[in-house]
Each structure stands twice: as structure tokens, then as C-alpha cells.
């Protein structure tokens, strides 16, 4: 639990720390894209506690994202994913390439709508390919923001296609000084060998602006925190994430 303690403490302090930016959720995507010519660097640290809390199944996933806005509606990003477990302290596990396109804008439509496509190539064990598609919906209603993600994933493993369906949704509110705090839920359904497995999570989240990092080419910087608790016995007991982002 040593690695988890700082994340839990930070999440507990969110009301004192958080400030507005475009990533109030740790696991749910908002319906936004990078502005044309803008580059974003994000570092994700995610900690997993398996069902029952066993030490052997715990892991930390470290993910570095570099994204760039091609137009005001289209952006692309490259992810490099590493993993730490008791068996492997630090190893490269996957590379991912993502594209997002903003189909609708709430300025001229009832809501924001973004199409998301991601390709992933794992580099460990069976080294499968995977594709993921998201339909990301969002709307800002005064100080309140809402987001919903509909998710489909296809993993190509050993000549077979494993299909996964998922969701993520969150609500956040802007409070004094641009603070944004919220809650989110996410999960997935997987069917394999005639058996359907459901995973579900829910928990608090928030974002803190880091104005002291705004200097030179840095336009904005923020820290997003979230803790999600498993809702059934097929689900990890807990997932916690810290996300540090910088825009250039």
C-alpha cells in the first residue's frame, strides 16, 4: 500500500487543491480536442489492487502521452506504456496511437461529440493487437460539466477476436476560484468462452491547476487525481490514478 498512500492522500485533499482545467476525470474522457498547433504532454500513473487485495496481483502502469492538434477539431497522440509488478519492476508493455475528431461543438449544437479511435500493440507475452473506439459526449451547463463515453474494443489474440464493450461517465462542478471536483463511474463487459464478465467502478475525482509551471512555451499545466472502487467481485478492489499534464 506504500505506493497508493500518496494518491489517496492527494485525492482526499482535492477540495483544497483542485482548480479548473480540461481534465477533471481520471478515467473518463471529455469531449475535447487539442487546439490547432498545440502540443500536450501527459504522464499517467495508475495503481491496481486486484480482487481480494492480494499482493501478487498488484501493479502500477506508467503511461506517457504526447498529443498534437492538427486542426481545431482533429488531434493525434502517441502513448508509451510501462508496467511495474512484483515479477518485473519496470518493463515496456505497449505502444498506442490515437486519433480524435470533434464532430459536434456545443457552441452550435446541443452537445459536444468527439469520435475516438485507438490502436494498441502489446510487446509482452502473446503480443496482441487491439483496436478501441469511443463515442465521447459532453455538455457544460454553467458550472456543471457532464461527460459520457460509449466504448467498443477488439483484441486480436491467437487468431481470435475478443470483443469488449464499456462505458464511462462523470459529472463535475466548478467551485470557487475555478476549482473542479466530481465523480465518475466506468466499466466493461467481456464475453469469452460463452461466459460474460462484468467489471464496474465508481469514485471521486478532481483537478488542480499548476499556474507556477506556466512559463516560456508552457501554456497550462494541471494535476488530475481519481480513486475508483470496485462494484462487484469480478472487479479490482481499487484503481487509483494521478495524471500530470502540460500544454505547449
Number of domains the chain contains: 1
Structural domain including 110 reads: 4-247
Given a contact cutoff of 8 angstroms between Cβ atoms, the answer to whether 32 and 112 are in contact is yes
CATH code: domain of residue 45 = 2.40.160.40
Comparing CA positions, the residue from 169, 119, 166, 171 lying closest to residue 143 is 171
* pLDDT tens figures, 219-242: 999 999 999 999 998 899 999 999
Q: Kind and range of the H or E element at 174?
A: strand 160-175
Helix and strand element counts for the chain (H, E): 2, 12
Dist CA 25 CA 11 (whole Å): 12
The per-residue pLDDT for range 166-209, each reduced to its tens digit, is 999 999 999 877 679 999 999 999 987 778 899 999 999 999 99
Q: Which helix (H) or strand (E) holds 7?
A: helix 4-12
Query: On the CB side of 17, how many CA atoms lie within 13 Å of its CA?
Result: 16
Amino acid at each position: 500500500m506504500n505506493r497508493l498512500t500518496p494518491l489517496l492522500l492527494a485525492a482526499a485533499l482535492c477540495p483544497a487543491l483542485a482548480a479548473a482545467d480540461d481534465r477533471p476525470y481520471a478515467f473518463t474522457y471529455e469531449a475535447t480536442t487539442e487546439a490547432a498547433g498545440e502540443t500536450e504532454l501527459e504522464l499517467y500513473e495508475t495503481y491496481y489492487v486486484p480482487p481480494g487485495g492480494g499482493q501478487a496481483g498488484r501493479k502500477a502502469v506508467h503511461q506517457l502521452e504526447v498529443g498534437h492538434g492538427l486542426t481545431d477539431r482533429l488531434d493525434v497522440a502517441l502513448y508509451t506504456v510501462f508496467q511495474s509488478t512484483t515479477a518485473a519492476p519496470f518493463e515496456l508493455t505497449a505502444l498506442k496511437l490515437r486519433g480524435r475528431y470533434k464532430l459536434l461543438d456545443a457552441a452550435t449544437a446541443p452537445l459536444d461529440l468527439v469520435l475516438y479511435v485507438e490502436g494498441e500493440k502489446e510487446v509482452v507475452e502473446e503480443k496482441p493487437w487491439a483496436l478501441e473506439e469511443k463515442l465521447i459526449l459532453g455538455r457544460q451547463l454553467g458550472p456543471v460539466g457532464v461527460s459520457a463515453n460509449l466504448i467498443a474494443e477488439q483484441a486480436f489474440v491467437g487468431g481470435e477476436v475478443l470483443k469488449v464493450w464499456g462505458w464511462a461517465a462523470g459529472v463535475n462542478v466548478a467551485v470557487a476560484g475555478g476549482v473542479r471536483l466530481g465523480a465518475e463511474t466506468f466499466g466493461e463487459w467481456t464475453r469469452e468462452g460463452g461466459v460474460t464478465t462484468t467489471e464496474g467502478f465508481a469514485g471521486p475525482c478532481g483537478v488542480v491547476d499548476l499556474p507556477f509551471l506556466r512559463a516560456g512555451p508552457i501554456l497550462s499545466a494541471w494535476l488530475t487525481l481519481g480513486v475508483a472502487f470496485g462494484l462487484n467481485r469480478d472487479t479490482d478492489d481499487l484503481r487509483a490514478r494521478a495524471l500530470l499534464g502540460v500544454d505547449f
